[in-house]
Amino acid sequence: MIVVITGASRGIGKAIAQSFAEDQQVHTLLLCARDKEKLHSSAKELQQRFPFADIRSFDADLSTREGVDTFAAWILSATPHVDVLVNNAGSFVPGNVSSEEEGALQQMLDVNLFSAYHLTRALLPRMLERKSGHIFTLCSIAGLQAYKNGGAYSISKFALIGFTKNLREELKPHHIKVTAVIPGAVYTDSWSGSGVPPERIMESADIAKIIYSVSHLSPQATVEEIVVRPQEGDL
């Protein structure tokens, strides 16, 4: 199985990579993140822990079209096809529509929506040729329910869910699966120093396990949306 994961240097992305890497079956993992040092360190760590996996990394800023195109070209030259694409690259900047800094919406759309849109479009032709593949988009509860201080981030996640829904309808007859993963609070670096105890928030591994399991369903089964929240509800 050949798996592409963006935003893979830490948090949810790294946990997803680990879930696939620890499978004793042979997996090729193509990992991407913006921070070169953290990405290569994470890839090296996973390769040492799971030597039977083939783990490769490529640093690129997917908030830019150039970054997406460069990463896509590397993927297409490195492997004959992609079985699983996990669009996990994302960023969170709090703010309200009325007061957030100029350019906040464009910034959030570039990272949270257009990275997934352009990378998916670049890799789809080979999926369509093979009539197989599974595309996951990491959305957010903020894309289902507006909340205070959500601003541009929430808008971008609403858009990402819309993109995923349209993609699902379009690809049904081509046997390509599309799944929107919609988590509530997950304990990542963005929560460190917040004062919220880790046990109140979900673990990155929770999301990773779900994605791994869904990717191994029979060809005739598709999970369209996964909504997962902390046991005690949203924060």
pLDDT over 90 at 63, yes or no: yes
Task: Quickly tell me which residue has 């009539």 as its tokens.
Answer: 131
The pLDDT assigned to 235 comes to: 85
Query: What is the separation of C-alpha 42 from the centre of its chain, rounded to a whole number of angstroms?
Result: 16
Name the percent of the chain lying above pLDDT 70.
100
Q: Which residue has the higher pLDDT, 189 or 123?
A: 123
**Domain range list for the chain:** 2-228
The pLDDT assigned to 138 comes to: 98
The pLDDT assigned to 93 comes to: 87
The pLDDT assigned to 27 comes to: 85
* Inter-residue contact 77 to 50 (CB < 8 Å): no
Exposure string of 10-25, with b = 16+ CB inside 10 Å and e = fewer, is: bbbbbbbbbbbbeeee
Q: Which residues contact 230 (CB under 8 A, 6 or more apart)?
A: 184, 185, 200, 201, 202
Q: Tell me which H or E stretch contains 134.
A: strand 134-138
pLDDT over 90 at 52, yes or no: yes
pLDDT band at 70 (very low <50, low <70, confident <90, very high): very high
Task: Look at 7-21, 135-149, 150-164, 191-205 and tell me which has the smallest mean pLDDT.
Answer: 191-205
In this structure, are strands 134-138 and 84-87 parallel, antiparallel, or unpaired?
Answer: parallel
3-state secondary structure string across 168-233? HHHHHHHCCEEEEEEECCECCHHHCCCCCCHHHCECHHHHHHHHHHHCCCCCCCCCCEEEECCCCC
Write down the pTM of the prediction: 0.96
* Inter-residue contact 1 to 25 (CB < 8 Å): yes
- Superfamily for domain range 2-228: NAD(P)-binding Rossmann-like Domain (3.40.50.720)
For the segment 122-137, the average pLDDT, to the nearest whole number, is 98
Mean residue pLDDT of the chain comes to 95
The pLDDT assigned to 204 comes to: 96
Q: What is the pLDDT of residues 154-209, one digit of tens each?
A: 999 999 999 999 999 999 999 999 999 999 999 887 777 778 888 899 999 999 99
pLDDT over 90 at 216, yes or no: yes
Distance CA 18, CA 41 (A): 14
For the segment 46-70, the average pLDDT, to the nearest whole number, is 97
Q: Which residues contact 120 (CB under 8 A, 6 or more apart)?
A: 85, 87, 135, 167
pLDDT over 90 at 119, yes or no: yes
pLDDT over 80 at 49, yes or no: yes
User: Which are the catalytic amino acids?
Assistant: 153, 157
Give the Cα-Cα-Cα angle 195, 199, 205 (nearest 5 degrees). 115
Residue whose C-alpha is closest to residue 212's, from 7, 25, 9, 10: 25
